[in-house]
């Protein structure tokens, strides 16, 4: 095969895509349809709670079109990081939607399901063997953190997905996967350069975000050749440029010249971007450098308590001018009133001053109004409710120098003013695990549906 063609319909399964763009992609006769379904961007809650951050209805909508198109053309459909986070509840949730779609369109398919959950006892054994190391500026992993984590997944590389393809799977639903792998697995299995396949996958995983103007809910098409690959936006309102494609190559990277992943690193020092007629871009020169040992990224989340929030606006310029001192004084009042409750957190996010960047904000000059998000986190929902309520009511009537009104200090957009948001999770595992077999952790089931 001199060219392998890949259709990426959307940045994340459930984000949607225009049918005209999708049809244009199908007219280019793709060999595989692949889509990333997850991310850690929405934070640890979804992994910890075992819930998807995309809704069932939009995910089913996308899958209806993807499954029908793949089966009609006899090409594989590959879904990575199913359900948003890729743990067993997320994978099973996605599989049930796939089965529902198959029933509704009265179709049969060979379905491969790849789980990425890591057994806690196995991980404890590997930790004792010294085969687990931190990924970035995080503390060494402990057995206590492993035990406290509700879900731990490993980020699979190419090998488990290639195994599913070799088993004749028409639809692959994979747990947590390194984002480019769902796009690169078929090309690598067919002998294409892993460097080009993975680099192409790196860009295709976010679909038309790599075009200009960018969009996470539109399609992108990739043509992989022996010495390069070409990217094409499928919506006539968008095009790929050297800048847009190079910028997305830098996306989510700490080093502009290297991109580490399972089994090796992409070396981008010699990568070249060339604009072609018709809003296309050719990319060449990327190299793949295998690592001496094979590492898998681990992700885990644990529950740390429950959260309650209250949202309010401040319009008084006198209060705004001393907002930090007022908030600090009210926090002291809470601490004094609940001196027996020490295991709680109280935060105030001050939008209009430094609500986005916090202490890193270079210009913390408040405007004519502020938006306050008051947040309490505690071991129980009741305690979180209590702390948030007391802080909110105290701030509402707090006296400060120069205050002229005896009415409330805050404007509330909602009633009730306090919102109990439920469990709070934090990432507890963000480490690398050395493995001997890239497929060893990943259980695969092949089903005739």
- Residue 287's Cβ-side half-sphere holds a number of Cα atoms within 13 Å equal to 7
Instruction: For residues 8 and 138, give the distance between their C-alpha atoms in angstroms, rounded to a whole number.
Output: 34
pLDDT band at 1 (very low <50, low <70, confident <90, very high): low
Instruction: For residues 190 and 326, give the distance between their C-alpha atoms in angstroms, rounded to a whole number.
Output: 65
In a 10 Å sphere around its CB, with 0-12 CB exposed, 13-18 middle and 19+ buried, how is residue 30 labelled?
A: buried
Q: 58, 97 in Cβ contact below 8 A?
A: no
- DSSP letter for each residue of 182-210: HHHHHHHHTT--HHHHHHHHHHHTTGGGG
Tell me the pairing of strands 370-378 and 287-290.
unpaired
323-337 and 381-396 helices, crossing angle to 10°: 130
C-alpha radius of gyration, the chain, whole number: 25
Find where tokens 């996306």 sit: 251
Tokens of 52: 């998807």
pLDDT at 252: 81
Peptide bond into 416 cis (omega under 30): yes
Q: 4, 224 in Cβ contact below 8 A?
A: yes
Instruction: For residues 409 and 395, give the distance between their C-alpha atoms in angstroms, rounded to a whole number.
Output: 7
Mean pLDDT value across the chain: 96
Q: What is the dihedral of CA 125, 129, 132, 134, to 10 degrees?
A: 120
pLDDT band at 449 (very low <50, low <70, confident <90, very high): confident
Q: ∠384-86-195 over CA atoms, to 5°?
A: 130
The 8-class DSSP code of residue 295 comes to E
Q: pLDDT tens-digit profile of 302-349?
A: 999 999 999 999 999 999 999 999 999 999 999 999 999 889 999 999
Q: pLDDT tens-digit profile of 43-96?
A: 999 999 999 999 999 999 999 999 999 999 999 999 999 999 999 999 999 999
Q: 38, 85 in Cβ contact below 8 A?
A: yes
3-state secondary structure 203-234: HHCCHHHHCECCCCCCCEEEEECCCCEEEEEC
Tokens of 83: 């359900």
Considering only the C-alpha atoms of the chain, give the largest distance between any 2 of them, rounded to a whole number of Å.
79
Peptide bond into 358 cis (omega under 30): no
Domain assignments of the chain as residue spans, ordered by start: 4-299+429-448, 316-410
- Residue 120's Cβ-side half-sphere holds a number of Cα atoms within 13 Å equal to 14
pLDDT at 81: 98
Q: pLDDT tens-digit profile of 381-403?
A: 999 999 999 999 999 999 999 99
Q: pLDDT tens-digit profile of 220-269?
A: 999 999 999 999 999 999 999 999 999 999 888 888 899 999 999 999 99
pLDDT band at 371 (very low <50, low <70, confident <90, very high): very high
Does the pLDDT of residue 430 top 80, yes or no? yes
287-290 β-sheet, strand order: 258-261, 264-267, 287-290
């Amino acid at each position: 095969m001199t060219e392998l063609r890949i259709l990426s319909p959307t940045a994340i399964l459930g984000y949607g895509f225009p049918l005209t763009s999708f049809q244009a992609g199908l007219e280019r006769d793709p060999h595989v349809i692949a889509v990333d379904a997850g991310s850690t961007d929405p934070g640890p809650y979804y992994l910890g709670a075992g819930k998807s951050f995309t809704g069932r209805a939009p995910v089913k909508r996308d899958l209806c079109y993807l499954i029908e198109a793949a089966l009609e053309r006899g090409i594989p459909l590959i879904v990575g990081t199913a359900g948003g986070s890729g743990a067993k509840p997320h994978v099973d949730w996605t599989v049930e939607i796939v089965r529902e779609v198959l029933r509704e369109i009265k179709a049969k398919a060979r379905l491969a399901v790849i789980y990425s959950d890591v057994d806690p006892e196995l991980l404890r054994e590997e930790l004792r063997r010294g085969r687990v190391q931190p990924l970035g500026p995080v503390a060494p992993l402990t057995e206590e953190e492993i035990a406290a984590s509700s879900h731990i997944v490993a980020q699979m590389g190419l090998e488990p997905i290639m195994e599913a393809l070799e088993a004749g799977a028409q639809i692959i639903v994979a747990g947590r996967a390194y984002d480019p792998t769902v796009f690169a697995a078929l090309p690598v299995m067919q002998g294409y350069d892993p460097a080009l396949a993975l680099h192409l996958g790196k860009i295709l995983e976010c679909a038309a975000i790599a075009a200009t103007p960018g969009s996470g809910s539109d399609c992108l098409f990739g043509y992989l050749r022996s010495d390069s690959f070409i990217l094409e936006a499928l919506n006539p309102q968008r095009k790929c440029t050297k800048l847009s494609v190079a910028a997305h190559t830098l996306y989510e990277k700490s080093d502009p010249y290297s991109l580490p992943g399972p089994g090796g690193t992409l070396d981008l020092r010699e990568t070249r971007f060339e604009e072609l007629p018709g809003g296309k871009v050719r990319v060449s020169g990327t190299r793949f450098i295998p690592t001496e040992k094979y590492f898998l990224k681990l992700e885990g989340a644990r529950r740390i308590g429950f959260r309650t929030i209250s949202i309010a606006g401040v319009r008084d310029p006198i209060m705004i001018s001393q907002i930090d001192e007022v908030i600090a004084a009210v926090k002291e009042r809470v601490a004094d009133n609940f001196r027996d409750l020490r295991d709680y957190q109280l935060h105030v996010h001050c939008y209009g001053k430094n609500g986005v960047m916090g202490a890193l904000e270079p210009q913390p000059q408040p405007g004519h109004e502020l938006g306050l998000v008051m947040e309490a986190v505690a071991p129980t929902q009741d305690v979180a409710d209590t702390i948030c309520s007391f802080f909110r009511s105290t701030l509402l009537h707090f006296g400060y120098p120069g205050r002229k009104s005896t009415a409330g200090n805050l404007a509330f957009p909602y009633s009730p003013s306090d919102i109990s948001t439920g469990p709070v999770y934090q990432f507890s595992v963000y480490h690398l695990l050395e493995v001997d077999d890239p497929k060893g952790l990943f259980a695969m089931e092949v089903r005739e549906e």
